[in-house]
Amino acid sequence: MRVAAEGEAVGKIVGVGRALGGRIVTNHDLAKVVDISDGWAVALTGIRERRFVREDEDCVTLATEASRQALRHCGLPGDSIDLVICATATAPESLPSVACQVSDAVGARGSGAIDVSAACAGFCYAASVASSMLSSGVASRVLLVGAEVLTTIVDPKDRSTSVLFGDGAGAVVLERGGGTSGFVDHLLGSDGHMAAHIRAGHPGGHQKVRQNGREVFKFAARVLPQMVEELLARNRLSWEDVQYVIPHQANLRIIEAAARKLDLPRNRIVINIEKYGNTSAASIPISYPDIYDLEPGKYVITAGFGGG
């Protein structure tokens, strides 16, 4: 993403919003259910608390609230949206899609609506789809959402996963054409050979998230700096051009390891995992409201990695 010169960006970002699960769950709260301590959790993950949904909340309600905030932020009505794209791996049901339900809830009835499932990389994939739709003229205004309710696929007694994940959503309103900010380039990739290291069943089902933390850490710490360096090189940019890097908030140790490889100061990295936990496809757009006002001409690099 960049605060770009007129005409450079595929779609300009005109509104941002986020929503978080209604319950704040600290490490001390988790310690009542599973064998952890606050010190252990912070040292292993960097997380002190995370947000869990209440009984009256789910992926759709969080995605809807984040979307309403984004629309309010830019002062646009829901019926001005041509397309809703939601990145999620935790839709409460197989159909209808989360995007379809959000479209109805915000008054964008009749708009196109699709879900994109790529787990922690989901928002980056969905952003590339949104950019393509805007560039091709299929849509003039897109509501782009990342929303996850990871508590529906986590075993609360598995300390290797229950300490990591939280529930939340972030939303962005994009308009066709260049402007003050927008997506400029996308780098996509996958490695299906690593599939055995992160697996989960459907929300509410019996197959909860299982992951090989050591292998996931090694993969992410290697791939994250590679992605960032490739984006810089192919766009002929230096660190002087970049104001922030927003990494997927998977684990603070992964982010810090990547920052060391990139020789990137911590104040250039957006980090909020301490209070939100790992919200998968929602973690990047949840960060957007904190960095919306950027220096003119500066870039923001976002990097999603993990199960997707």
Enter the pTM of the model: 0.93
CA distance to 71, 185, 270, 302, 306, per residue, from 75 (Å): 6, 27, 26, 26, 34
- Of the candidates 120, 124, 197, 251, the residue annotated as catalytic is 120
The answer to whether 258 touches 221, Cβ cutoff 8 Å, is yes
Q: pLDDT 10s digit of each residue in the chain, 308 long?
A: 433 333 356 678 999 999 999 999 999 999 999 999 999 999 999 999 999 999 999 999 999 999 999 999 999 999 999 999 999 999 999 999 999 999 999 999 999 999 999 999 999 999 999 999 999 999 999 999 999 999 999 999 999 999 999 999 999 999 987 555 678 899 998 888 777 777 788 887 888 888 877 888 888 889 899 999 999 999 999 999 999 999 999 999 999 999 999 999 888 999 999 999 999 999 999 999 999 888 888 999 999 988 76
The answer to whether 269 touches 243, Cβ cutoff 8 Å, is no
Is residue 197 flagged as an active site residue? no
> How do the domains of the chain map onto residue ranges?
1-308
d(CA 88, CA 123): 8
Is residue 202 flagged as an active site residue? no
Which amino acid, one-letter code, is at 134? L
SS3 state at 22: coil
Q: Could you give the residue ranges of the DSSP H alpha helices within 137-237?
A: 159-162, 213-234
Which DSSP category does 278 fall into?
A: B
Is residue 27 flagged as an active site residue? no
Q: Domain 1-308 is in which class?
A: alpha beta
- Of the candidates 86, 124, 248, 251, the residue annotated as catalytic is 248
